[in-house]
Amino acid sequence: MNTTGQQIHHAVETITTVTPITYAASATAVTMGGLTSGEWQMAGVIGGLILGILTFVTNLYYKHKILKLRQNER
């Protein structure tokens, strides 16, 4: 497998592995935030939303990277 192919494979594996974990952590943080009081609730909800947004942005980055690598293969 060439270097570009290896890079694409690694990027796809990273997205496949990290996405479910981070979305689960985000959902847990939001849910746990709903079960506590006051500041902890707000911190849990905000933390969960931030984690979800960061996961989304990271996925966009890796998908963009895969697209560039595939275009360079041609």
pLDDT by position in tens, the chain (length 74): 567 677 777 777 776 776 777 777 777 776 665 555 777 778 778 888 998 999 899 999 999 998 898 888 77
What is the pLDDT at residue 18? Answer: 67
| Amino acid 21: pLDDT | 74
Please state, in angstroms and rounded to a whole number, the distance separating the CA atoms of residues 6 and 73. 12
List Cβ<8 Å contacts ≥24 apart for 65-69: 65/7, 65/11, 66/8, 66/11, 66/12, 69/4, 69/7, 69/8, 69/11
pLDDT at 35: 57
**The pLDDT value given to residue 49:** 92
**Phi, psi torsion values for 2, nearest 5 degrees:** -75, 170
Output the pLDDT for position 50. 92
